[in-house]
Amino acid sequence: MSSYNEHKVSTPGDEKVSADRGAGLRRRLSAGGVLVVGATLAAGLTTPAGAAAPVAKVPSWPSVVSLMPQFMQANATRSTSELSARIDRKLTKRIKKAALGSDVTMRVEDLSSGKKLWAKKGNQAQVPASTMKLATALAVLSVRKDSYTLKTTVRRAPGSRDITLIGGGDPLLSSGNLDELAKSTAQAVRAQGLPEKKLRLNYDASLFSWASLPSGWPSSYFSNYVARPSALSRDRRKVGDPAKDAAVYFRDRLYVHGLKKGDLRGKVYQNAPEAGASVVASYDGHDVGDALWRMLRYSDNSVAELMIRHVALARGEATTSTGSANAVQAQLRLLDVPVKKSVFIDGSGLSRNNRLTAKTLTGILRASFSPQKTHLSSPYRNWSLPIAGQSGTLSTRFKSSRTRCANGLVVAKTGTLTGVIALSGVAVGDDGRHRAFSVLVNNRPSGRSVTETRERVDQLATTLTGCK
């Protein structure tokens, strides 16, 4: 599998980060890599003696532990009843901090049992910002496993002068990947023999519908903050027509790799492949898992908007902006995620018209650990979600005296829009149990800084570990 180069990601809805890991590292980690997160963690998990078993209407899933990455497993040093009382007491106090304002909601569930452990207005619909990407990831994995490859192909009918570059909806396709594909294509075409007339390069991005602006998106988003979703694109470039841009670049690389200008027309054409055209070259170095790794860890909006179209495609529904967002919501319903009061506008969370409740988000987190659908938890096993104080959009957080003890004990998706701070994920407590949580701050107090509000949100997550 080819790795891909990361670059800085800047969006209006989330943190700016410098990425340092690619698909190759994602694979090595999932195969048994080691992360040092502190001496408090241990490989085993014990159930505290005498702890009461949670009571819930949903089945208990003891297999949650086995689906967690190794660093999120810890020996119990406190009873569940003791920690639960401590959490209840401290959350009740800490959620009243001024930096959180009055429009803050939160829900905490036991990840194994689904039992609600604590909540404040958990059924109130809020703007979720980039925590919406948790919904996108779950929906994608429910229709396409993480090993599903995203192929970009070149087809040609026998003896034809038409060659067609076909997009497969790969959001990670790079200029380097297209260069590899152009080299293979040039070699194959020359081996087949050049026609008397010049070859003609076509491009086909018809796998997905042309993307219009989702509700609530300013027109500047496609040019400044997110690449227009296209089945064919390169480097997530923010250009008017990503497919044509990729095709022109591909044509230029064909020239470099042996096709002369006398062999190939200079113009590129938007056409489907001819009947009977077969694959002469392909690039399949990225899969769904690679795409979700980048989307979740670095809150990549361009990846998210493309991946929701794969959900619609798999369901046989319209791959428009609206159709794709609706497909995600429909898929979550099939997974028994509570989506009442939810409004799905996009896959990234950029729209301020999106609405999710804390209950919906914790439901998404819990559905990811279904023992009957273990592939849904692959982002956790692959370390795709940011790790508190260690990676992705949480790499610079959980550093203060209030939160640093939770370093490595929380994995969560961040979310930021103007006036909105959100965090949804899983924390492992010092009772050895895992708790799903979601915090949604809307209408952040104008007199408080984003940094202060984030720290107070992180403190709520820290509370669930029992370390502070």
Listing DSSP states for 174-213 in one string gives -HHHHHHHHHHHHHHHHHH---SSPEEEEEE-TTSPPPPP
Q: How confident is the model at residue 6 (pLDDT cuts 50, 70, 90)?
A: very low
Q: Are 216 and 353 in contact (CB under 8 A)?
A: yes
Q: What is the pLDDT of residues 117-149, one digit of tens each?
A: 999 999 999 999 999 999 999 999 999 999 999
Q: Choose between 80 and 1: higher pLDDT.
A: 80
Share of the chain above pLDDT 70, in %: 87
The predicted pLDDT at position 39 comes to 30
pLDDT score of 63: 73
In contact, 133 and 348? CB cutoff 8 Å: yes
Tell me how many degrees the CA angle 311-58-377 measures, rounded to the nearest 5.
40
24 pLDDT more than 60: no
Contact 410/83 with Cβ under 8 angstroms?
no
pLDDT for 18 beyond 80: no
- Which residue's structure tokens are 């392909």? 282
pLDDT confidence of residue 242: 98
pLDDT digits (tens, 9 = 90+) for 70-105: 888 878 899 999 999 999 999 999 999 999 999 999
Q: Give the pLDDT confidence score for residue 200 in this predicted structure.
A: 96
The pLDDT confidence band at residue 64, using thresholds 50, 70 and 90, is: confident
Q: Which two tokens stand for residue 439?
A: 């915090």
Q: Band of the pLDDT at 60, cuts 50, 70, 90?
A: low
Asked if pLDDT for residue 167 goes beyond 50, the answer is yes
Tell me the average pLDDT of the chain: 88
- pLDDT exceeds 50 at position 441: yes
Neighbours of 280 (CB within 10 A): 18
Q: Which among 130, 141, 131, 129 is positioned nearest to 310, based on CA atoms?
A: 141
Assess contact for 325 and 139: CB atoms under 8 A.
Answer: no
Q: What is the pLDDT of residues 444-458, one digit of tens each?
A: 999 999 999 999 999
Output DSSP code: residue 162. E
pLDDT tier, 280 (very low <50, low <70, confident <90, very high otherwise): very high
- Taking the C-alpha atoms of residue 266 and residue 248, their distance in angstroms, rounded to an integer, is 9
Q: What is the pLDDT of residue 10?
A: 34
Rounded CA gap, 467 and 447, in Å? 29
User: 457 near 441, Cβ under 8 Å?
Assistant: yes
Asked if pLDDT for residue 55 goes beyond 50, the answer is no
Q: Edge-to-edge strands of the sheet including 420-428?
A: 116-120, 104-110, 434-441, 420-428, 410-417
φ, ψ dihedrals at 463, nearest 5°? -55, -35
Q: What is the DSSP string of 51-117?
A: PPPP--SSPP-TTHHHHS-GGG-----S-HHHHHHHHHHHHHHHTT-GGG-S-EEEEEEETTT--EE
The model's pTM: 0.89
Residue 28, exposed/middle/buried by CB under 10 A (0-12, 13-18, 19+)?
Answer: exposed
User: Both tokens of residue 224?
Assistant: 């400044």
Give residue 80's pLDDT. Answer: 93
pLDDT 10s digits, 199-243: 999 999 999 999 999 999 999 999 889 999 999 999 999 999 999
Contact assessment for residue 335 and residue 377, using Cβ atoms and an 8 Å cutoff: no
